[in-house]
Structure 1
Amino acid sequence: MEHYPAYWEADVVLRDGATAHLRPILPSDSDAIQTMHKKQSPESIYLRFFAPLPVIPKKDLDRFVTVDYDSRVAFVMTIGEEIIGVARYDRLDEESAEVAFNIADDHQGRGIGSIFLEHLAAAARERGIRVFTAEVLPQNRSMLQVFAAAGYEISREFDDGVVAVRFDIDPTEKSIQVQEAREHRAEALSVRSILHPSSVVVIGASRKRSSTGNLLLRNLTAAQFAGTISVVHPEADAVAGFPTVKSLEDIAEPVDLAVIAVPAESCIDVVRDCAAHGVKSVVVISSGFAETGEHGLELQREMVATARANGMRVVGPNSFGLANTAPEVSLNASLAPFLPDAGTLGLFSQSGALGTALLAAAKTRGLGISTFVSAGNRADLSGNDLLQYWEEDPATATVGLYLESIGNPRKFTRIARRVSSVKPVIVIKSPFTGRELPPGHQVRVSSLSSTALDQVLTQAGVIRADTIHQLFDVAQVFSSQPMPAGRRLGVIGNSAALSTLVVQRARSEGLRVETAPVSMHPEVAAEEFGSRLAEMYSDPMVDSVVVTFTPSAGAGEQEIAAVLAEEAAKSGKTTVACFLGVHGVKDELTAYTRDEEGGRRAHPVPSYVGPEDAVWALARTTEYAMWRRSDRGRYPEFDDVEPRRAREIIERNLEGVPPGERVLLGRDDSRALLESYGIRFLPYLTSHTVDEALAAADRLGYPVALKAVHKRLRHRMELGGVRLNIDDEAELREDWQGIAEVIGTYLGPEDDHGIDVQPMAPPGLACVIRAGEDPLLGPMVSFSLAGDTSELLDDVSHRVAPLTDVDARRMVRSLRASPRLFGYKGLPVMNVEPAEDVILRLSTLVDSFPSVRDIEIRPIMVTEDDAHLLSVKVELVAEPDRIDSQRRRMSLG
């Protein structure tokens, strides 16, 4: 039996939003397996074993629980100590295995079978198995549905009363879509159960008014929570005027949400007690966990593992709490003594202190919120979970997140790209590289610069803000205005100086001012102000408008504000204002109309302290509007790729390599790997003598290049390791000898002294393409022009795989130095399409194989007609899985 593969263990979210634990089977599971079996109905037993079997014979039971984690693999799923399902495969030959499932009767219909299939398939692929087979009775419709709905290409044969099912388990586009859709539904439902509780219990509320628990209870009651509230206190009869019970046992009704404010050391016992009494979720306000060091981290992990293993989600620990302003809920289970009014902005914060600032800023600016969650140490519930929920939440129109770290950025960008297509997502960005983390946050460390995640967020349509101030600047526009139809801006006001500032800032932010700014007299009358506004709104060359107003001896502020609000409401065009004394979305700049049903509808104009803020917010809104309307491209389909050939090369080179250790592929295997994905290189021949080099040049044809093989000299023309444009035998002899002397100077006798001979590529522009699995961001692809300048100035474009054709085009064109590819100052216009094709093929390769740590094509010569690849380096790492894999599992926080 192989070593127990602990990394196969996973906490999972079931179809109904509850959690469970999945792990490889152990011999010690025999009693629990027998217990589950005895509870099964005769029909379920017959469907699994094709015969009546009230008790599993000991011999068979021993065989079921004893596996080698290679040719025979089995998983169990547990809630608490109870096994609720078993799934297994048994190898039939080198590439195929038979699978079987057994789900407890009480837990059928919770999506357990589909989760088992994902994890079995992932384990099987890791062990070299490519095909699953199964024999299923025709009446076992639920099991047949698991296979049919998984997204694989299924073949069926009916023989002797049994349906034989067979399918290739390599992921398909459809199987990935199915998995992500199931993950979305389950995680969204788990968040909904937290934010829409029918009953809340507060555990740890003290009679001291200054205590955390006491404040929580007062906030719950002040918000007039629509459900039932219970308070657990072992001694007091009442807390904050609210009657208490001694323990959870004294609460007869089911409890949806427990809010815990006890010392960290006691939290695990409280969570166990909640599990024993069927509590669905917990919010842990208590601090003293991972933010305090290793001991606190262990406490945190144990607490979360206990909760998940018993079907519960955890918000926190070190959380500020959560809130839902929907009238049918009215939940304020937070430390905030006030909440903004009900609105359409969903807010997520990892920091408790910043959570307070977010709520305060929303209230100050007159922005209503739908829901608010503070995740604290983000040990379980994360921003990814909230995005899953907010995507389809009808009460939320705009999403705002303050993220100190991202545990799974690949998953975040995948979900954010989907959410951004239907509603704006605004993120206060942090460095996110994983090198500088707040206490309590556990993430991997990225190997890329901090700009990489910024570019990935842009790829996903996420709006980035540097501060809370900027987050709400943008949110003001989305909460009150239609999205701009284009980038053309109209500027109007009663101050020429302010209008000039607006125009200058607008152009620097990418907005176009094609209509002359209107600067009225400082003492303009309200009637003239309204007339000039109406003219600007009617201009077809104006998509959005910035209005400035400075008080003077003319019309009063209230009079001008009313005119502005009325004209903006009639126009239907995006409007922002810089109106002295008004900051936010306020009544002073709001007009009201009646809808078709006679209801009153507000039309506020957002106002800003300064014109720069107004223009910045409008520019971000416009960029998002353009992204949302843009064609985001198609994922390529290549007929000439050979993923199995690539897999064989990778697995052969990683055979016997310890997990985490890196392997540098030989040059032949490096080229073979890329050629399996249709990426071709200029040929080369390696020489160790001048005569070998001459023979190689005759075979390849002049002109040729000479390159030292050793990595220290290979691309270092300044060190003499590269000689180009060699046209004849005499020149080759001289240059070969020159490189040999350099090798003798820089390298030792044990180093590779070989010199490659390669045909000269046509003249062009040298570029660099890199791709591979970043530990934090997942499969990434990068593009830049070759040279130290690009690296020193970080002029590199990054995208997360998989890429669309539009992503590849934008990568090439987003570099600051990209004009050099497109005729800058008389340079020839290069054909970049072949380079874009290489980018897309590399994206497909690294998306499929997380063991590919780094591929570096240096250089790829982009010419007027084609692109020529000269050299490649490939590094693999023995990692069994990626952070966002093809099997559903919850993050480790």
Structure 2
Amino acid sequence: MTSDAGVAPGYPAAWEADVVLHDGSTTHLRPIRPSDADALQAFHVGQSERSTYLRFFAPLERLPERDLQRLVTVDHDDRAALVAVQGEDERIIGVARYDRVSPDEAEVAFNISDAHQGRGLGSVLLEHLAAAARERGVRRFVAEVLPQNGRMIAVFRDAGYEVVSRTEDGVVQVGFDIDPTDRSLAVVADREHRAEARSMGGLLRARSVVVVGPGPAAADSLPGRAAAAAYTHLVAGDATLVVHAVGVAGVPSASLLADVPAPVDLAVVAVPEERALELVRALAPLGVHGVVLLSGGFAEHGAEGLARQRAVLRAAHGAGMRIVGPASFGIVAPAPDGATLNASLSRVAPQAGPIGLFCQSAPLAVTLLGAVERRGLGLSGFVSAGHRADVSGNDLMQFWADDDRTEVVGLYLESIGNPRKFTRVARRLASTKPVVVLTAGRSGQVVPPGHAVRATHAPPRTLDEVLRQSGVVRVENTHQLLDVAELLAHQPLPAGRRAAILASSPSVAALVAEALAASGLVVAGGFVHLAEDASHARVREAVAELYADPEADVAVVVRIPTVGGPEPLLASEVATAAAASGRTTVACLPDLRGITPALTATDAQGRRRTVPAYGTPEDAAVALGHAARYARWRAEDRGLPLHPRGADTRAARRLVADWLTGSTGDALALDAGRTAELLACVGITVLPATPVRDADEAVAAARAIGWPVALKTTVPALRHRADLGGVRLDVADEAELRADVAQVLALAATHHADPTAQAPLEVQAMAPLGIPCVVRSAEDPLFGPLISFGLSGDASDLLGDVAFGVPPLTDVDVAELVRAARAAPRLFGYRGLPARDVAALEDVIARVAVLADDLPELRSLELNPVTVAERGVCVLGARATLAPADRVDVARRLARA
């Protein structure tokens, strides 16, 4: 988003970004402009003498006019600079610049405002400057730093780069490659995590709030009623909370925001959409950390509303604030002591508990919170992000990862703005805490009004793969979301899939066993029968028998009486036995639902454990199945990042940058030679094919290659199709080749191919016999790079037998990708045939994945076929298309990602 419409042509608007700093506040980064001269001079004059000396190696009270114009006038290529700005007047609080000194090396310099030291500005400017420089072909930064400027040297080292330094003439010469490494990416992710967690903590741990309404004249309007409700709920939720009101009917209100004493942590705003921008600007002097925007009327109203939403967001981020909304239902943060920050439209706030719950839709928030209350669930926090203009599920996952009160996270997502970041954040969280996810639709491609999300061309199954790789538990509806969350929050993770059953009749036991099997569990032996009229002694005996089974990992208790009511002793005995054994247990008992005292007991460590009660055995089985699969995922080795030996993506980027020079933005289809050259950079060799037009050229090519050869048509419908006659293999001599050329050309003519085409045929050396496979990569505007794998042939294409992966992948991800195709058993010795070299196939896929992840300009790539032999693989054909990069998630922090 460009905040200055008057920028010069060539201004890289894509470099603009809102970022979250170390202290949880926000600021705006953008390329410097000639119009910044006065602001840069003011920044310079405001610096201390020491800071000026460290930057320029000399005292300099003011920047000379000639130097000032040189500093603000850059070409965004050989010379570039980024400024961090705050406020409506865009005061400069930090500057980072590079000047190219060789084709792939640039000298960098940084200057951070004295008043903003320690907020992480230097590190975030370095991340963004490095990303911009890499886009322009720079691969190494060098700098001259005075020895006493330890803070700047630490910024370079702490960024995760391999810094080389030496001291010469009293100056430290520093140099480092800026290509992302595992360590530098980990540093960025960790800083992003801590900053976003602090940002959310500023909202959910607020101790002073101001509610802003539309004024008494609009008391009966929707914003007026919302403001009054929010104020009432805040006051009722926590007597120690400082709550102010401006323009809220029926309560003591200040006339103006300027009359509210600062500081204020949180603002809850419900005003007509046209007033939102001015109010956000007016909140800045109060030091507000975040704004809960209950009002709608923004992006859901088309281009004008989207522009209004962006303006509000820009003003908020420029003032260091986060936005929850628009159209938010609010936020709720119950505390263990009973006090609750209820900055929401919910009259009844949930009790404190171990579940963090996030949703986007305000109407669904009503449904979710109602269900939470009926089930007796407790929440550590609840956030409704509405149209998710700023604060998203990613932000809340970052916060809940470190929150001791939160043990399980539940997310209802209507849209995912950045799937790559979601995968990264969710996978990190799911490795320590369960994450249960419900999406609006299976594909994630239906975007509700008001959600500004990039379009996607990815197959509907892509979202399945994103969530699977993330390690989250995906459920089908809100009912399952809470079913699974309450089990994971109140029971230990299952140790395995074997289930023991206690049931009130054989027919009920059969029903339970069927439901468990459908959910991926295995019934261990028979079942424990507890008759409807069993004595208390038999109840105790049956429960003891249930937990005595050493083969069982989980226990299911179902009592469905035909006469009579609840059996309190059974609930008590099950709760006690479950807590003592540590065995995951679920129950289906009359008149019990959700989390109840009747099914609660203390385990050996003194922790209160509750057996969740479900309305039907099927609900209990589904929840258990999800818990068991999550436990297995968490226990498995997730593998290591891919680093194929000899893969040089830097060389690939140089080639692509050269080939795209002067590109108008249209896709560039590479010829066979360039495709092979690109793939060679990552260690993939394509078996050469010689284009020929007739039999004489085919014979000459075959003699040069050596007999036997393969003959192929280039007609798309017949390409790689030996079964349709488009490919002839093991052509042993000239006579056979001439006959095959005539037949293939005739066949091509029946498919409307031009027989006079420049090269309708190819001659290629014979490859070892093997199983043909297809490996593809495609760059999607929303999901980024997608890798697909399948075995060649009509069956795979018609049945959609293709497996997908979303880079970055690990070695384990690649192995799972190969095995996910339903036809994959053919590679592993199917029906007595010899097993193929799957390790060599995985190596090819890994190289494609690394190339696609590091090269966003790679719009599409197809290796077809990849023949997998008993030893080795052979890539027989490859096609690639390039286009200028347009990827959302890069190696830099963004506030809205």
Bin the TM-score by the shorter chain: over 0.9
> 1:381 aligns to what?
391
Partners of 1:446 and 1:788 lie apart in 2 by 26
One-letter amino acid of the counterpart of residue 282, structure 2:
D
Partners of 2:792 and 2:721 lie apart in 1 by 12
**Which has the higher mean CA deviation after the structures are superposed, 123-132 or 425-434?**
425-434
- Alpha carbons 2:644, 2:846 under 8 Å: kept: no
- Equivalent of 1:75, from 74, 77, 82? 82
- Alpha carbons 1:480, 1:605 under 8 Å: kept: yes
Q: Secondary structure of the residue that 1:92 maps to in structure 2?
A: strand
Partners of 1:434 and 1:748 lie apart in 2 by 42
Q: Secondary structure of the residue that 1:274 maps to in structure 2?
A: helix
Once the two structures are superposed, residues 163-216 of structure 1 have per-residue CA deviations (whole angstroms, 9 ceiling, x without a partner) of: 111111111111111111111111111111011112100000656478111111
Partners of 2:60 and 2:424 lie apart in 1 by 46
- Alpha carbons 1:524, 1:554 under 8 Å: kept: no
Partners of 2:488 and 2:818 lie apart in 1 by 31
2:226 corresponds to 1:216? no
- Mapping 1:195-206, distance limit 5 Å: 195-204=204-213
> 2:699 aligns to what?
694
**Which has the higher mean CA deviation after the structures are superposed, 741-750 or 303-312?**
741-750
What is the CA distance between 1:671 and its match in structure 2? 1.6
Once the two structures are superposed, residues 758-809 of structure 1 have per-residue CA deviations (whole angstroms, 9 ceiling, x without a partner) of: 2333333222111232221122211112223323333221121121111111
2:693 corresponds to 1:679? no
Partners of 1:643 and 1:686 lie apart in 2 by 29
> 2:404 aligns to what?
394
One-letter amino acid of the counterpart of residue 121, structure 2:
I
- Equivalent of 2:669, from 655, 664, 672? 664
> 1:89 aligns to what?
98
2:894 corresponds to 1:889? yes
Once the two structures are superposed, residues 620-644 of structure 1 have per-residue CA deviations (whole angstroms, 9 ceiling, x without a partner) of: 0001111111111122333312223
Partners of 1:522 and 1:791 lie apart in 2 by 55
- Equivalent of 1:808, from 803, 814, 836? 814
> 2:803 aligns to what?
797
- Equivalent of 1:57, from 64, 81, 98? 64
Q: Secondary structure of the residue that 1:507 maps to in structure 2?
A: helix
Partners of 2:658 and 2:566 lie apart in 1 by 80
What is the CA distance between 1:592 and its match in structure 2? 4.3
What is the CA distance between 1:109 and its match in structure 2? 1.1
2:849 corresponds to 1:843? yes
- Alpha carbons 2:775, 2:862 under 8 Å: kept: yes
- CA 1:739–1:584 in structure 2 vs 1: closer, same or farther (change >3 Å)? same
Partners of 2:608 and 2:664 lie apart in 1 by 64
2:489 corresponds to 1:482? no
Q: Secondary structure of the residue that 1:865 maps to in structure 2?
A: coil
**Which has the higher mean CA deviation after the structures are superposed, 133-142 or 639-648?**
639-648
- Alpha carbons 1:649, 1:669 under 8 Å: kept: no
Partners of 2:615 and 2:563 lie apart in 1 by 21
- CA 1:211–1:94 in structure 2 vs 1: closer, same or farther (change >3 Å)? same
**Which has the higher mean CA deviation after the structures are superposed, 855-864 or 708-717?**
708-717
2:545 corresponds to 1:546? no
2:27 corresponds to 1:13? no
- CA 1:266–1:553 in structure 2 vs 1: closer, same or farther (change >3 Å)? closer
> 2:240 aligns to what?
226
What is the CA distance between 1:814 and its match in structure 2? 1.9
Partners of 1:537 and 1:831 lie apart in 2 by 46
Once the two structures are superposed, residues 716-758 of structure 1 have per-residue CA deviations (whole angstroms, 9 ceiling, x without a partner) of: 5566433334333222111111222234452347844331112
- Alpha carbons 1:150, 1:178 under 8 Å: kept: yes
- Equivalent of 1:27, from 3, 13, 34? 34
**Which has the higher mean CA deviation after the structures are superposed, 791-800 or 608-617?**
791-800
Q: Secondary structure of the residue that 2:844 maps to in structure 1?
A: helix
Percent of counterpart pairs with the same letter?
48
- CA 1:682–1:524 in structure 2 vs 1: closer, same or farther (change >3 Å)? farther
Once the two structures are superposed, residues 565-612 of structure 1 have per-residue CA deviations (whole angstroms, 9 ceiling, x without a partner) of: 22222221000112132221112222346866xxxx532211111111
> 1:153 aligns to what?
162
Partners of 2:564 and 2:32 lie apart in 1 by 82
> 1:279 aligns to what?
288
2:373 corresponds to 1:338? no
Once the two structures are superposed, residues 685-706 of structure 1 have per-residue CA deviations (whole angstroms, 9 ceiling, x without a partner) of: 2222312212322343444321
Number of positions where the alignment pairs a residue of Structure 1 with one of Structure 2: 881
Unpaired runs of 5+ in structure 1? none
Partners of 1:292 and 1:574 lie apart in 2 by 48
- CA 1:760–1:508 in structure 2 vs 1: closer, same or farther (change >3 Å)? farther
Partners of 1:306 and 1:616 lie apart in 2 by 46
> 1:361 aligns to what?
371
Partners of 1:358 and 1:94 lie apart in 2 by 57
Partners of 2:474 and 2:353 lie apart in 1 by 22
**Which has the higher mean CA deviation after the structures are superposed, 318-327 or 675-684?**
675-684
Q: Secondary structure of the residue that 1:67 maps to in structure 2?
A: coil
Partners of 2:756 and 2:115 lie apart in 1 by 67
Unpaired runs of 5+ in structure 2? 1-7
- CA 1:565–1:722 in structure 2 vs 1: closer, same or farther (change >3 Å)? same
2:648 corresponds to 1:648? no
- Alpha carbons 1:523, 1:553 under 8 Å: kept: no
Partners of 1:559 and 1:229 lie apart in 2 by 48
Partners of 2:101 and 2:17 lie apart in 1 by 26
2:825 corresponds to 1:819? yes
Once the two structures are superposed, residues 466-525 of structure 1 have per-residue CA deviations (whole angstroms, 9 ceiling, x without a partner) of: 100011111121121111111111122112112112222222322122322233434333
2:745 corresponds to 1:740? yes
- CA 1:870–1:886 in structure 2 vs 1: closer, same or farther (change >3 Å)? same
> 1:627 aligns to what?
633
One-letter amino acid of the counterpart of residue 650, structure 1:
V
One-letter amino acid of the counterpart of residue 411, structure 2:
L
> 2:3 aligns to what?
none
Q: Secondary structure of the residue that 1:670 maps to in structure 2?
A: helix
Partners of 1:750 and 1:214 lie apart in 2 by 78
What is the CA distance between 1:530 and its match in structure 2? 2.5
Question: CA RMSD of the aligned region, Å?
Answer: 2.0
> 2:139 aligns to what?
130
What is the CA distance between 1:826 and its match in structure 2? 4.0
What is the CA distance between 1:823 and its match in structure 2? 3.6
Partners of 2:806 and 2:363 lie apart in 1 by 32
- Alpha carbons 1:524, 1:555 under 8 Å: kept: no
- Mapping 1:291-690, distance limit 5 Å: 291-327=300-336, 330-431=340-441, 435-552=445-562, 557-592=567-602, 601-659=607-665, 661-690=666-695
Q: Report the TM-score, using the length of structure 1 for normalisation.
A: 0.95
Partners of 2:604 and 2:738 lie apart in 1 by 89
Q: Report the TM-score, using the length of structure 2 for normalisation.
A: 0.95
> 1:265 aligns to what?
274
Partners of 2:872 and 2:161 lie apart in 1 by 38
Partners of 1:679 and 1:289 lie apart in 2 by 49
One-letter amino acid of the counterpart of residue 704, structure 1:
V
One-letter amino acid of the counterpart of residue 61, structure 1:
L
Partners of 1:321 and 1:278 lie apart in 2 by 20
Q: Secondary structure of the residue that 1:36 maps to in structure 2?
A: helix
> 1:869 aligns to what?
875
What is the CA distance between 1:151 and its match in structure 2? 1.1
Q: Secondary structure of the residue that 1:243 maps to in structure 2?
A: coil
Partners of 2:474 and 2:566 lie apart in 1 by 37
- Alpha carbons 1:491, 1:499 under 8 Å: kept: yes
Partners of 1:676 and 1:877 lie apart in 2 by 18
- Equivalent of 2:261, from 249, 252, 256? 252
Partners of 1:89 and 1:225 lie apart in 2 by 53
Partners of 2:34 and 2:412 lie apart in 1 by 46
Partners of 1:887 and 1:604 lie apart in 2 by 43
Q: Secondary structure of the residue that 2:328 maps to in structure 1?
A: coil
Q: Secondary structure of the residue that 2:863 maps to in structure 1?
A: strand
Once the two structures are superposed, residues 228-248 of structure 1 have per-residue CA deviations (whole angstroms, 9 ceiling, x without a partner) of: 000012xx8xx44x4211111
